[in-house]
Chains A and B, each alone.
Chain A
Amino acid sequence: MVDLNHKELHGMHVNHGLAGGPESLVRDGEVHRRVYTDPAIFALEQERIFARSWQFLAHDSQLPETGDFLTTTVAGRPVLLVRAKNGDLKAFFNRCPHRGALIMHRATGNSRRLTCSYHGWTFDHHGSLLALPMSEGYANTAVAENPDAYGLQALPAVDSYRGFWFAHLNPDGVSLRGFLGEVACNIDNMIDRAPDGTIAVMAREPYRIMMRNNWKVYLENLHDGAHAVPTHQSSIQPAADVARKPNHAWSRFQAEVIAANAQSPAKMKALRVNCYGRGHSDMMAFRKTRPDNPEYQEYERRLSAAAGSSSLESIVGINRHNAIIYPTLTVQPNYMQLRVVVPLDAESTRLDIWIFRLGGAPDWINQRTLVYGNTIHSPASLVRADDMENGERVQIGLRRGVETDWVSMHREQGCEPGPRGVSHAMSERYIRNQYDAWLHYMGAAA
């Protein structure tokens, strides 16, 4: 039992009208609106979910050269990644041990040394203190006596899954591989699509999106086949008109991707969703991704030559729309898209979306990845605009208590009682599965 008036929340406005802890906010098929709106819940999520799970840092290809660095956050903490001389990827809290300033403030760059802009303390790529300006002032202090203790602080646990780096702030014995479990097949599927076995980010900057909604509102939309037509009707019809005309091939592709939201409920129901442990899940795709054109066939020919024709079907024959690696990562393996969810506060969330080039593939397939990214993941996407509007409407709708404070996630619960197992894109089982994990992380599991 967790008391939300516990001292770790002291000073925050907790006006919940409920006596209990996190377990009181989830009940059979329903969740209390406060999980989306309460700053105290968000603060608790930061410590208990994001600081106690494997969080995505970067892909190897974002830091190809010695001295490449990038800044990011893990559970709200500023983090600095550096490619060291021996090829190691180093991850530090991005904080000078002297006065606490950010060591690096730019998003990316390359630097031979890491120098704090405030007083010039300088560190090497392994985080060791290299230069201490005005050092005479430190005579007979702990800094002079034990300079090793005044290097950059490394993150407690960092590991890579096939080039995708993650960090854990409170290692609890669960390995990255164990954390990913069955959902790892989606990362595998993305990499396995590369004829030469390598993938690399297509740009040094991701698409970046700001959403006026809680991070969970976004995750709870990702396998939701029931929202597609009501939410996206404004883009479906105009795009279908463009797709029908003898337009440029990429114009038609863009339009077909948008118009695909018109799938009937029956077709959505036929799309399998798998709900795994730890809140993870994945969903099959509703658009064919193996077109009958020579450019695509050249890609399959190269992949088949590299991976073996017997492997071809187990790679491109698996067409998943997306996967949720709970709580803050989602992958679209068929279009090589990786979305990083960055929860900023209870009511705002950023998305960083990376797209990957398949090594050894014809330009056509990489261009398709790019056109898909522009169409779906740009902040100027015709599809996303209406998702973002509805996300904000959920947030506004839940901000204040009204007669009913409970939000429904009942769809198909009658047929699918437990959180895990096989489901489909017209079911909200994957949302119930996320709250099963949420309760577990929040320390309130039965």
Chain B
Amino acid sequence: MSLSEKERFEIEQLVHRECAALDEGRYADWLELFDPEGSYWVPMADGETDPETTPSLIFERVDALPARVGRLMHPAAHGLDASIRTARVLGSLSIKNVGPYIEASARFHLLEEQRPDRQRWFGGCYRYLLVYLESRWRIHQKRVDLLNPFAPFEAIQIIL
């Protein structure tokens, strides 16, 4: 299907809203952006096609995500005692049809600050598979292709 200017604008807005919800710690708002049948996937290698047969850094269906979000908001999450903050920058957004979905993809840089003396960068590509459901665009899958998915990482507590 070809997208109208209005639809492209809505999709761009959705991608930016998704990043803003994470950077601002509005996790309930973030969950609302998903298709209830959706998933959040961070593959552990380049070019993965199937999270059900290969290991992933994260592969969670939307109905599992309240556990991840719940820990982020839990007062006794020791790893989060010094609050973690993130700032992400998107670029090169492109939108195309992929099967029954619209795919919006963008390069990203993500700066994470965990306590004032510890900063970490992540970078790579966000790929959103989107569906139009009940009068708005929703995320069917958020896929995060890191530049270095197989590197040894310290704990990744944030939502990438």
A234-B152 contact in complex given A203-B54, A255-B64, A374-B55, C-beta closer than 8 Å: no
A380 at interface, CB cutoff 8 A: yes
Contact call B67/A235, Cβ cutoff below 8 A? yes
Interface residues of B, count at CB 8 A: 37
Among A121-129, A179-187, A237-245, the one that faces the other chain is A237-245
Contact call A208/B150, Cβ cutoff below 8 A? yes
| Residues of chain B contacted by A388 (CB below 8 angstroms) | 79, 154-155
| Residues of chain A contacted by B74 (CB below 8 angstroms) | 233-235, 237-238
A212 at interface, CB cutoff 8 A: yes
Contact call B152/A210, Cβ cutoff below 8 A? yes
Contact call B55/A210, Cβ cutoff below 8 A? no
Among A170-178, A246-254, A304-312, the one that faces the other chain is A246-254
A221 at interface, CB cutoff 8 A: no
| Residues of chain B contacted by A211 (CB below 8 angstroms) | 154
Q: Which residue of the partner chain A has the closest CB to B42?
A: A380
A153 at interface, CB cutoff 8 A: no
| Residues of chain A contacted by B61 (CB below 8 angstroms) | 247-248, 250-251
A65 at interface, CB cutoff 8 A: no
A389–B45 Cα distance when bound, in Å, is 26
A198 at interface, CB cutoff 8 A: no
Contact call A254/B156, Cβ cutoff below 8 A? no
A422–B63 Cα distance when bound, in Å, is 41
A443 at interface, CB cutoff 8 A: no
Chain B, range 65-88, C-beta contacts under 8 Å to A: 66-71, 74-81
A205-B63 contact in complex given A380-B42, A390-B78, C-beta closer than 8 Å: no
Contact call A385/B157, Cβ cutoff below 8 A? yes
| Residues of chain A contacted by B152 (CB below 8 angstroms) | 208-210, 350, 379
A367–B59 Cα distance when bound, in Å, is 12
B92 at interface, CB cutoff 8 A: no
Partner of B155, one of A202, A241, A385: A385
| Residues of chain B contacted by A389 (CB below 8 angstroms) | 78-79, 81, 155
| Residues of chain A contacted by B63 (CB below 8 angstroms) | 242, 245, 247-248, 251
B24 at interface, CB cutoff 8 A: no
Please tell me the size bucket of the interface on A.
35 or more
Contact call B55/A370, Cβ cutoff below 8 A? yes
A381–B76 Cα distance when bound, in Å, is 16
A373–B156 Cα distance when bound, in Å, is 15
A331 at interface, CB cutoff 8 A: no
Q: Which residue of the partner chain B has the closest CB to A247?
A: B63
| B78 vs chain A, min Cβ distance (A) | 4
- How does the 8 Å CB contact mask read for A208-236 relative to B, with 1 for contact and 0 for none? 11111000000000000000000101110
B1 at interface, CB cutoff 8 A: no
A398 at interface, CB cutoff 8 A: no
B133 at interface, CB cutoff 8 A: no
| A403 vs chain B, min Cβ distance (A) | 25
Contact call A247/B57, Cβ cutoff below 8 A? no
Contact call A242/B76, Cβ cutoff below 8 A? no
- What are the nearest 8 A-B pairs in CB distance? A238-B70, A234-B77, A251-B64, A379-B153, A208-B152, A234-B74, A389-B79, A247-B63
Question: What are 19 of the A-B contact pairs (CB < 8 Å)?
Answer: A208-B152, A211-B154, A233-B74, A234-B71, A234-B76, A235-B70, A238-B68, A247-B63, A248-B63, A251-B63, A255-B64, A363-B53, A373-B55, A374-B57, A378-B44, A379-B57, A379-B156, A382-B71, A385-B156
Contacts A202-B54, A382-B71 aside, 16 further interface pairs with beta carbons under 8 A come to: A212-B154, A233-B74, A235-B70, A238-B66, A242-B66, A242-B67, A247-B64, A250-B64, A254-B64, A366-B53, A378-B56, A378-B57, A382-B67, A385-B156, A388-B154, A390-B78
| A interface with B by C-beta (< 8 Å) | 202-205, 207-212, 231, 233-235, 237-239, 241-242, 245, 247-248, 250-251, 254-255, 258, 350, 355, 363, 366-367, 370, 373-374, 378-382, 384-386, 388-390, 393
